Amino acid sequence: MEQHNPSGTLSWRDRAAPLAHATRTVFADPVALRGLLAAIAGTIVLLLPNATTVTMTVVVIVLLALSGLVDLSYAVTGRRRFGRRIRRSLAAARGLAALLFAAFMVVLTLTGAGRLTLPLIGGVIGVYVGIRGLISVISAILNRRTQDPALRLAQGGVAVVIGVLSVTVPESVVSAAIVTAALGALVTGVIMIAWSLRGPAQRTDGTDALDGATASIPAVVWDWIVGSDIGRRERTAQAATLYFEEPNRRTKLGTWWVMLLSVAIASFAVLADSTAVIIGAMLVAPLMTPILGLAGALVNGWGRRALSSAALVTSGALAAITLAYGVAAWSPVAISFATNSQIVSRVSPNTIDMLIALAAGAAGAFATVNARVASGIAGVAIAVALVPPLAVVGICINGGQFADAGGAALLFLTNFVAIVLSASLTFVLTGFARPYALHHRPAQIIKTVAPFVVGAGVILVPLMATSEGLLQSETHARNASATVTAWLGEDSAFTLADVAVTDGTVQVTITGPGQPPSAEELLASLQEGFRDPVGLELTVVPVEVTDLPAP
């Protein structure tokens, strides 16, 4: 018997019906089920980072062995089933290198001659990827008369950069690769589930709709991109907000140059060491517009718009640095470059700054495509990463602090490249990029995006070096703190106040009455946790307690 709700509100069953339908769809559709498994795998890797070493070891050994066997088979038979055709001699060299690396890792695993850690795995992968990239570059040069070398050179250059990074800072590279793969699996899984709920894209070229039962993951992702196409009319409307074109081009450019006001505000905020004023400068900073325009032009194959946006960003950055230099030159405020928090926080960038910029670029691109998202929020997020560093560059140059100016410039370049890359990917997934251009001109788009990928790799070298230095210092300080605690003992009257590691010296501060344990014993215990010799600076703060009974 049907029950009516007199109040007019939905019952809990009616509210749960859409969720139940979506759940049934996920478990019944093979695409959604694969997406769910990918999302779960990515989530597990993110939540359990310590359990990935063994899995990574097995995966790397298997992939290296398979790659080496495929290359050697091609070198002997001349038949190529996977990958590009290259010179058979180069394929033989590459196959031997892959098998040697795989055998090296197997020996380490079985004999116990060494302990396979993530940094070691990263180093092995880095050497292998670098060799493959170098071979790709050589092959492109040798075959430049028969094939366009630009794409192969770009791919080889990216591989060489990855190889150099893996050897230089293996721990950071491996961690970044694992996190990137986990996030990629998570995002891909979400896209596959959303595709299953939305259904295949409506084809207008006469081809049949995609069958999820037999479709591969790349095919599903491509079908999602095709189905997310916002259309020519909406794309034209969005492009009008990103590019300073006719009509009223001069008026738009004149309005954009209000950015100089935000730079002036940011410069005064840095001089006054005021975070509140820095935020005010971010609110009126429109530098994000041409950067997003550059990302949109790259994925759509709009060469003229890409050059125009890049020129606007370059001229705006140079004008901002010049204005900040002038503001600092005429400012009556004495600048303390060692204690000013707005300067100190922007002259030593690390990988966290690049992650912030990646998130900001994705948010800005999504807000551009989706009108329901407040574009001002994304504008502020991107302005955080762009305007203050430019102001710091000009102020530091004026003060003769060229090293600090270089650090702030590196921060700006880091965020600029990261924003372009993440915004480009977001534009592709949200339908702003034209599927026609992505399908028919992929080589052109890859060649235009590849320099930014190479640039990001080059920038990552000092960023990861800084991050590894900070991580190593924090690890040493944490281990030293545990050693000092054990040295004092559970019943000690002393309390550990501070532990720091600076320039090969462990600085320990303890407070309490009486005589502490032997400092020589502490130094010997500390030395066991360091590879290089370390010194000890022990500071004991005496405590005197006066206890008077009540009258």
> Per residue in 141-165, pLDDT tens?
777 676 666 667 777 777 787 777 7
Instruction: Clarify whether residues 368 and 488 are in a common domain.
Output: no
pLDDT band at 233 (very low <50, low <70, confident <90, very high): confident
- Tell whether the model's pLDDT for residue 341 goes beyond 70: yes
Q: Are residues 263 and 376 in the same domain?
A: yes
Tokens of 534: 């370390």
- What is the pLDDT, as a whole number, of residue 12? 55
Q: Bin 496: left if φ > 0, else alpha if -120 < ψ < 50, else beta.
A: beta
Q: List, edge to edge, every strand of the sheet that includes 535-541.
A: 495-502, 505-511, 535-541
One domain, residues 436 and 497: no
On whether residue 223 sits in a domain, the answer given is: no
Give the span between the Cα atoms of 536 and 524, in whole angstroms: 10
Query: Are residue 496 and residue 398 in the same domain, yes or no?
Result: no
Instruction: Answer yes or no: are the C-beta atoms of 192 and 35 closer than 8 Å.
Output: yes
Task: Check if the beta carbon of residue 70 is closer than 8 Å to that of residue 95.
Answer: yes
Report if residue 220 sits inside a domain. Answer: no
Q: Looking at the domain assignment, is residue 205 inside a domain?
A: no
Cα 537 vs. chain centroid, distance in angstroms?
38
429 and 299: one domain? Answer: yes
Q: Are residues 79 and 147 in the same domain?
A: yes
CATH number at residue 532: 3.30.300.20
Angle at 76 between CA 71 and CA 78, to 5 degrees: 80
For residue 169, what are the CA distances in angstroms to 84, 122, 530? 30, 9, 19
Most confident of 73-77, 228-232, 326-330, 544-548: 326-330
Assess if residue 221 is contained within a domain. no
Q: Which two three-digit tokens encode residue 167?
A: 């050897």
Q: How far apart are the first and last CA of the chain?
A: 84
- With a pLDDT cut of 90, the percent of the chain lying above it is 1
Cα–Cα–Cα angle for 538, 544, 546, nearest 5°?
170
Number of compact structural domains in the chain: 3
User: Are 152 and 252 part of one and the same domain?
Assistant: no
Give dist(CA 499, CA 142) in Å, integer.
57
Specify if 107 maps to a domain.
yes
pLDDT (tens digit per residue) in 462-510: 776 676 666 677 777 777 888 888 888 777 777 888 887 777 788 888 8
Q: How many CB atoms lie within 10 A of CB 109?
A: 16
Q: Which two tokens stand for residue 155?
A: 């791919």
Evaluate whether residue 216 is within a structural domain: no
The answer to whether residue 424 sits within a structural domain is yes
Q: Which pLDDT score, from 0 to 100, does residue 113 have?
A: 45
pLDDT at 459 over 70: yes
Q: What average pLDDT is seen over the chain?
A: 76
Same domain, 337 and 436: yes
Residues 113 and 245 in one domain: no
Q: How confident is the model at residue 439 (pLDDT cuts 50, 70, 90)?
A: confident
Structural domain for 319, as ranges = 233-440
Q: How confident is the model at residue 110 (pLDDT cuts 50, 70, 90)?
A: low
Is the residue at 266 inside a domain?
A: yes
Q: What's the pLDDT band for 11 if we cut at 50, 70, 90?
A: low
DSSP 144-211: TTTS-HHHHHHHHHHHHHHHHHHHHSHHHHHHHHHHHHHHHHHHHHHHHHHHHHH-SPPPSSSPPPP-
Are 258 and 361 members of one domain? Answer: yes
Instruction: Give the Cα separation of 383 and 262 in Å (integer).
Output: 10
Question: What CA–CA distance (Å, rounded) separates 151 from 442?
Answer: 10
Q: Based on the domain organization, do 296 and 370 belong to the same domain?
A: yes
C-alpha–C-alpha distance, residues 49 and 314, integer Å: 40
Q: Are 395 and 267 in contact (CB under 8 A)?
A: yes
Are residues 111 and 148 in contact, defined by beta-carbon separation less than 8 angstroms?
Answer: no
Q: Is the pLDDT of residue 381 over 70?
A: no
* Largest separation between any pair of C-alpha atoms in the chain: 103
Among residues 389, 424, 440, the one where a domain terminates is: 440
Burial class from Cβ neighbours inside 10 Å (0-12, 13-18, 19+) for residue 242 reads buried
Last residue within a domain, chosen from 175, 190, 205? 190
- Per-residue pLDDT, averaged over 118-136, amounts to 74
Q: Are residues 243 and 178 in the same domain?
A: no
